Amino acid sequence: MAIKAVFFDIDGTLLNDRKNVQQSTKKAINNLKEQGIFVGVATGRGPSFVQPYLENLGLDFAVTYNGQYIFTRDVVVYQNPLSVSTVYRIIRYANDKRREISLGTASDLVGSRIIDMGTSRFGQVVSSVVPKQWAKAVERSFKHLIRRFKPQNVNGLLTLMRRPIYQVVLIATEDETENIQNRFPQIKVTRSSPYSADLISYNQSKIHGIERLGNQFGFDLSEVMAFGDSDNDKEMLSGVGIGVAMGNAEASLKDIAHYTTETNNNDGISKALAHFGLIHLEQEESFDSQDENFNKVKMFHKVMDGTTCEMPRVYENEEANHRSDFKVEEIVEFLYAASHGDEAIFNDSLVKLHAAIDKAARKVESKEHPETPLVGQVDALTDLLYLTYGSFVLMGVDPKPLFDAVHEANMGKVFPDGKAHFDPITHKILKPDDWEERFAPEPTIHRKLNRQIQHAFQRQKNNQAKTS
């Protein structure tokens, strides 16, 4: 049967681990829309979090709070708030157990600071980079933390109860799920996190929300494809025509899914849609990196060189020497800046730099090198990149806006004839005569650094106010 609607979970599915929607996913959604296929999200997140995705991606509808609140870009289709008595009992339970909770309203998820941090962009990014082998240790630490945590202000939560509450998020580990369900048989406990539980009405779920939309917009569950990665996606993936588990999904979800695709970081959505023939994946002539800074430099080289390298290759000796020459020039500039213009200090730094080169040469020559030349070059360049980031960390400087300033300046290296000019030997891109006057990045870097310094002083001032 033809697919008439496609639904995505959000965290770990529609969003990659950096909490962005991949370009391949955006293109796929546009392709589906052009074919007249409905596209929506089904998530435990609330309406306020989801609304920007509906607008920015042109989605048709959203099943939020695990089916408790459903809307399109124009109207609210369905809402089912929890009873006041149920919310009150859950608040009392959380207070007795010294557990923080958040209450999901139509406008926001309000309450726990811990939950706010866990569901924020920062918290989600941090959780995505915690190694799996640390999971048990993190969980033990988490349990210890919540036992010691001061209970929330119950009066504030009771005041919030005057508004319709569609979902309660309770801090609780996975082994507590059954106890909570037994304590509140009139609700359903579902999870998308090992550290918190979503509490909704007993007869609600993502799949029921999708079914309601199908009844209104003319599609059957068998005509739906759905994507997910967590425990609260099981019922949805098993109940639709095609249930797709992301490559990063839990093993139990992959077991019940009709198909397992690539991860949320590796174009999993577009590849699954192509696998089932809903879209056609064109072979890209050029690859994009998940590192946006790399993509900007690649754009620069495409403009200047007219083409880019799309297949990993080794630098031969002469070209490698030229690339190293470029880097050494920047290291010498770095040392000159560190000398504050003192010629004696600068010359001493250069002597030490030469000594460091000799020392590095002896170290490299004394080691065995079983790696291939390509691996060796990539390893060295990656370490350089990591060390550069480390230098910024120890300076307390955010390099992103400064990198953007340098990139914009470099894009000005096109000559009046509309072309880039190159050094005939090193192939280094040359600067037009008026480049320093029109594009030199130092003034912009100066302004952006001053802004960072001002923000740092403000943070320091705020921290001092909190402790005083």
d(CA 457, CA 453): 6
What is the token pair recorded at 262? 């690539």
pLDDT for 124: 43
- Residue 123's pLDDT is 41
**E strands of 92-220, at which residues?**
101-104, 109-111, 167-171, 187-193, 196-201
In three-state secondary structure terms, 285 is coil
3-state DSSP call for residue 77?
A: strand
C-alpha span between 5 and 223 (Å, rounded): 7
pTM over 0.95: no
How far is it, in rounded angstroms, from Cα 245 to Cα 12? Answer: 10
- Give me the pLDDT at residue 289, please: 86
CA dihedral 337, 340, 345, 348 (to 10 degrees): 0
Task: Say how far apart CA 277 and CA 88 lie, in whole Å.
Answer: 49
Length of the chain: 468
Would the CA dihedral through 204, 210, 212, 215 be positive or negative?
A: negative
Edge-to-edge strand ranges of the sheet holding 187-193: 109-111, 101-104, 167-171, 196-201, 187-193
User: So what's the pLDDT on residue 1?
Assistant: 56
Q: Tokens representing 247? A: 């490559």
Cβ burial of 398 (10 Å; 0-12, 13-18, 19+) is middle
- For the record, the structure tokens of 425 come out as 């030997």
* Rounded-to-10 torsion of CA 201, 203, 207, 209: -60
Cα Rg of the chain (Å, integer): 28
Q: Give the 3-state secondary structure of residue 306.
A: coil
DSSP strands (E only) in 112-266: 167-171, 187-193, 196-201, 224-228, 242-245, 259-260
Phi and psi, residue 441, nearest 5°: -80, -10
For the chain, the farthest-separated pair of C-alpha atoms sits apart, in whole angstroms, at: 81
> pLDDT 10s digit of each residue in the chain, 468 long?
589 999 999 999 999 988 899 999 999 999 999 999 999 999 999 999 999 999 999 999 999 999 999 999 999 999 999 999 999 998 889 888 888 888 999 988 887 766 655 444 434 443 444 444 444 444 445 444 544 445 556 666 777 778 999 999 988 888 888 889 999 998 999 887 778 889 999 889 999 999 999 999 999 999 999 999 998 899 999 999 999 999 999 899 999 999 999 999 989 999 999 988 898 876 556 788 888 899 888 888 888 887 788 888 899 999 999 999 999 999 999 999 999 999 999 999 999 999 999 999 999 999 998 889 999 999 999 999 999 999 999 999 999 999 988 988 888 888 887 788 988 898 889 999 889 888 899 999 999 999 999 999 999 888 888 887
- pLDDT at position 308: 84
Question: Which distant-in-sequence residues (6+ apart) come within 8 Å of 61 by Cβ?
Answer: 38, 40, 54, 70, 71, 72, 73, 77, 213, 217
Confidence (pLDDT) at 143: 46
**Rounded CA separation 429/422 (Å):** 5
Q: Left if phi > 0, otherwise alpha if psi is -120 to 50, otherwise beta: which for 250?
A: beta
pLDDT value of position 156: 66
Cα gap 162→146, rounded to integer Å: 27
Intra-chain end-to-end CA distance of the chain, in Å: 67
Block residue for tokens 């779920």: 205
> For residue 394, what are its two tokens?
């120890």
Close Cβ partners of 466 (under 8 Å, ≥ 6 residues apart): none
